[in-house]
Amino acid sequence: MFTGIVAAVGTVVHAARAAGGLRLRIEAGGLALADVAAGDSIAVNGVCLTAVTVGRDTFDADVSQETLNCTTGFAAGARVNLEKALRFADRLGGHLVSGHVDGVGEVTQFDPAGDNRLLRITAPAVVARYIARKGSVAVNGVSLTVNEVNETGFSVNLIPRTLAATNLGALRVGDKVNLEADPIARYIERLQQFRGA
C-alpha cells in the first residue's frame, strides 16, 4: 500500500523487452534507496512494482504485459513519480493507494488558476464510476481531491507544491495518465452486489 504522497521524481533510463513484459532501470531521482531491498515494492507513476535489483541510485523492476495493457508512462526517458511502500508507523498524508491502476485517462485541460493549475481528465467508464466529488483519486500515483466530476471525467486543482514535487507539472493536453480510484469505492460496490443477491 501507498499514500499517494510522492517522495521523488525519477527517470526511466532503460526499458528493454523481456519475456512477458518489460525490464526497467529507473534512476531514483533522490529517492533514498538505502533501506530498499530486492523484493520491496515501489510505486512508479502509481503502479506497484517489485524491485528486482537495487543499486545506490537506481533500481530495476519488471513490468508484466498485463500491467502494460492497462497503464502508461514506462518509455525510456520518461519522468516518473516514485513512492516507497507504506510502513505501519508512517503518516497517511494522502489516501490509501494500492498501486493497482484502474485505467488510463487523458488530459483535456491544464490551465493556470492563479498560482495553481486546473487539471481536467477524461476517464474510462470503468474508472469514472468510482470517482466522486470531494473524494480521492490517484493520478500517476499522486493523491488528489476531486473538484468536479461528470459522466466522462473529472477535474482537480494542483497547488504549487504538487506541481514542483511531481511530474504532473509537465503535463500537456493529450497526455495519458495512470488513474486509480479510491479502493474503498470498489469494496462498497462489491458488498452491494452481495446485498442485492
* Nine-digit cell string for 165: 514535487
| 47/113 same-domain check | no
Of 87, 82, 85, 88, the residue nearest 97 (C-alpha): 85
**Residue 197 confidence (pLDDT):** 59
Which residue segment(s) compose the domain that 41 sits in?
A: 8-84
- Claim to verify: residue 174 and residue 141 sit in the same structural domain: yes
Identify whether 2 is part of a domain: no
- E-assigned strands of the chain? 8-18, 21-27, 41-44, 47-54, 58-64, 79-84, 103-113, 116-122, 136-139, 142-149, 153-158, 176-181
Within this chain, do residues 110 and 190 fall inside the same structural domain, yes or no? Answer: yes
For residue 116, being part of any structural domain is answered with yes
Q: Model pTM?
A: 0.94
Q: Is the residue at 1 inside a domain?
A: no
Average pLDDT over residues 53-68: 97
CATH of the domain at 157: 2.40.30.20
pLDDT tens, position by position, 137-181: 999 999 999 999 998 999 999 999 999 999 999 999 999 999 999
Q: Are residues 71 and 135 in the same domain?
A: no
Asked if pLDDT for residue 94 goes beyond 90, the answer is no
**Maximal C-alpha separation, the chain:** 53
Which of 84, 114, 144 is the last residue before a domain boundary?
84
Split into its structural domains, the chain has a count of: 2
Last residue of a domain, one of 30, 49, 84: 84
